[in-house]
């Protein structure tokens, strides 16, 4: 039996595609493959907590603290007490770190991003028998990547990273932290575009990059069976507006994901089509809430806003019902290495709209299973939404094309099999 050490930045109830990716792979490997998995992570729930004590963390009393879907989770508290310089002094004294030959600038940037898990480092260094066959970490540019490399040096085993590299986001292009990516034995890219960028712009050898996409639990979003089907519009739309159309966004509500761009496009949309609801699901931001308060004052604007606090998890009945009942899924992001929510929308048979930037043009085939817009172009977003919302046949045609693609290649079992084959090649 092979044993895998997973070192994600956060874990459920933290919500993002990177965390869900590790969770689903670990679940399938534990149940259906000959793997034993250990998961070590921080206690952060939101991104702020990775480096700021004012962020949100999971409490030990939380039912998900030690176990998630029968997976044991080992969470460590983030140490906020030391300065970056003090953290650097400790790390630079570690013999296994010195073997990585990283620059001080790279180390400093990784520490700034967090999470600094001094107790977890001590645990790995002091434990006499670390018996892992592979160490797998995610995602860039956070400090847990460096912890995985230190462990790999100690046990002399392959270290894998799925960086979810957002190469169209300028924030990820600092030359210092990308040094760490060159130290892994293998990088798993979600698309060929990400692989190409890692090779041509970061200098990763082609043999060290493998493409494995994200997956989706098709039956969760496609099934219409069951006695107690949850009806989203029946529950949340006004009584005389249940036949209104619905545009859905699901993700981190920030500028990078396109959530603010959607808000700014709404006035252009409702000027020409008023019988419409906009539904936002995901962690909020100050910028989003500020813009939302402005847009909600406009006549005929109908917005429903849900945060993780309103939901029970990735398969919350409200979220799944929203995907099933939406007319369009809209996520005009520039910060997606893939975009798992596109797969969820396609599984539900819905057309999608994404940005013509980054990896998205490889995920969405323009005018076939979705439409592409210019990032942060409010009028372009509005025009594409109106194109679909006014054309039922086009929505159905595009949604069915996406659905067929998901069935063919994007189940989590298919992703797990490819990951297993990749592990075996390393072993």
pLDDT classification of 225: cutoffs 50, 70, 90: low
pLDDT classification of 309: cutoffs 50, 70, 90: confident
pLDDT the model gives residue 186? 98
How many helical (H) and strand (E) elements, i.e. helices and strands, does the chain have? 17, 14
pLDDT classification of 170: cutoffs 50, 70, 90: confident
pLDDT the model gives residue 381? 98
* Strand, coil or helix: 363: helix
pLDDT the model gives residue 308? 87
pLDDT classification of 228: cutoffs 50, 70, 90: low
pLDDT at 398 over 70: yes
pLDDT classification of 206: cutoffs 50, 70, 90: very high
Q: Which of 388, 389, 390, 386 is nearest to 369 (CA)?
A: 388
CB-based burial of residue 83 (10 Å sphere; 0-12 exposed, 13-18 middle, 19+ buried)? Answer: exposed
Average pLDDT in the chain: 95
CA pair distance 67, 64, nearest whole angstrom? 5
pLDDT at 132 over 90: yes
Residue 37 · residue 423 · CB < 8 Å: no
Q: What is the DSSP letter of 224?
A: -
Q: What is the DSSP letter of 206?
A: G
The yes/no answer on whether domain 218-409 falls in CATH 1.10.287.370 is: no
Find the DSSP H helices in 271-334.
286-295, 317-325
Enumerate the domain spans of the chain: 2-215+412-426, 218-409
Tell me the pLDDT tens digit for each residue of 240-287.
999 999 999 999 999 999 999 999 999 999 999 999 999 999 999 999
Q: Two tokens at 215?
A: 């997956």
User: Looking at residues 200-210, what average pLDDT do you find?
Assistant: 96
Q: What are phi and psi of 56, to 5 degrees?
A: -95, 130
Residue 76 · residue 146 · CB < 8 Å: no
Exposure string for 92-124, b = 16+ CB within 10 A, e = fewer: eeeebbeebebeeebbbbbbebbbbbbebbeeb
- Asked whether the domain spanning 218-409 has the same topology as the one spanning 2-215+412-426, the reply is yes
Q: What is the DSSP letter of 265?
A: H
CA pair distance 313, 45, nearest whole angstrom? 13
Classified by CATH at the fold level, domain 2-215+412-426 comes out as: Rossmann fold (3.40.50)
User: Looking at residues 191-213, what average pLDDT do you find?
Assistant: 97
Q: Which of 351, 349, 344 is nearest to 250 (CA)?
A: 344
Q: Two tokens at 249?
A: 């966004």
Q: What are phi and psi of 113, to 5 degrees?
A: -75, -25
Element (H, E) at 42: strand 35-42
pLDDT at 106 over 80: yes
pLDDT the model gives residue 1? 82
CB-based burial of residue 365 (10 Å sphere; 0-12 exposed, 13-18 middle, 19+ buried)? Answer: middle
pLDDT the model gives residue 402? 98
pLDDT at 223 over 80: no
pLDDT at 119 over 80: yes
User: Looking at residues 42-67, what average pLDDT do you find?
Assistant: 96
Query: What residues form DSSP beta bridges with 366?
Result: 370
Query: What residues form DSSP beta bridges with 44?
Result: 57
pLDDT at 171 over 90: no
CA pair distance 29, 5, nearest whole angstrom? 12
Looking up tokens 């995920």, which residue turns up?
363
pLDDT the model gives residue 200? 96
Residue 71 · residue 23 · CB < 8 Å: yes
């Amino acid at each position: 039996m092979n044993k895998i050490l997973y070192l994600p930045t956060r874990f459920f109830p933290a919500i993002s595609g990177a965390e869900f990716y590790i969770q689903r792979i670990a679940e399938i490997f534990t149940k259906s493959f000959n793997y034993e998995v250990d998961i070590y992570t921080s206690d952060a729930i939101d991104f702020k907590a990775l480096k700021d004590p004012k962020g949100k963390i999971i409490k030990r009393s939380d039912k998900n603290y030690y176990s998630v879907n029968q997976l044991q989770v080992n969470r460590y508290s983030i140490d906020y007490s030391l300065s970056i310089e003090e953290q650097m002094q400790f790390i630079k004294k570690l013999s296994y770190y010195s073997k990585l030959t990283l620059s001080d600038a790279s180390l400093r940037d990784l520490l700034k991003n967090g999470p600094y898990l001094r107790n977890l480092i001590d645990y790995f260094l002091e434990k006499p028998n670390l018996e892992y066959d592979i160490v797998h970490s995610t995602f860039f540019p956070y400090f847990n990547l460096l912890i995985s490399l230190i462990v790999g040096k100690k046990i002399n085993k392959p270290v894998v990273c799925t960086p979810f590299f957002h190469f169209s986001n300028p924030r990820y292009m600092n030359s210092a932290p990308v040094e760490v990516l060159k130290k892994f034995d293998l990088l798993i890219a979600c698309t060929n575009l990400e692989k190409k960028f890692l090779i041509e712009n970061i200098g990763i050898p082609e043999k060290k990059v493998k493409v494995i996409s994200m997956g989706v639990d098709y039956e969760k979003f496609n099934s219409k069976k069951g006695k107690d089907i949850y009806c989203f519009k029946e529950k949340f739309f006004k009584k005389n507006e249940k036949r209104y159309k619905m545009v859905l966004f699901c993700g981190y509500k920030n500028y990078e994901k396109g959530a603010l761009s959607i808000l700014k496009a709404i006035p252009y949309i409702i000027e020409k089509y008023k019988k419409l609801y906009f539904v936002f699901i995901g962690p909020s931001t100050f910028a989003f809430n500020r813009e939302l308060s402005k847009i909600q004052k406009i006549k005929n604007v109908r917005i429903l806003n849900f945060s993780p606090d309103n939901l029970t998890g990735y398969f919350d009945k409200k979220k799944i019902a929203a995907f099933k009942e939406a007319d369009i899924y809209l996520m005009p992001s520039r910060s997606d290495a893939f975009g798992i929510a596109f797969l969820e929308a396609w599984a539900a048979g819905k057309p999608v709209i994404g940005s013509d930037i980054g990896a998205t043009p490889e995920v969405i085939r323009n005018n076939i299973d979705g439409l592409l817009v210019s990032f942060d172009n409010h009028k372009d977003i509005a025009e594409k939404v109106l194109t679909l919302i006014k054309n039922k046949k086009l929505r159905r045609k595009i949604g069915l094309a996406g659905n067929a693609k998901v069935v063919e290649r994007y189940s989590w079992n298919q992703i797990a099999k490819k990951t297993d084959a990749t592990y075996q090649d390393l072993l």
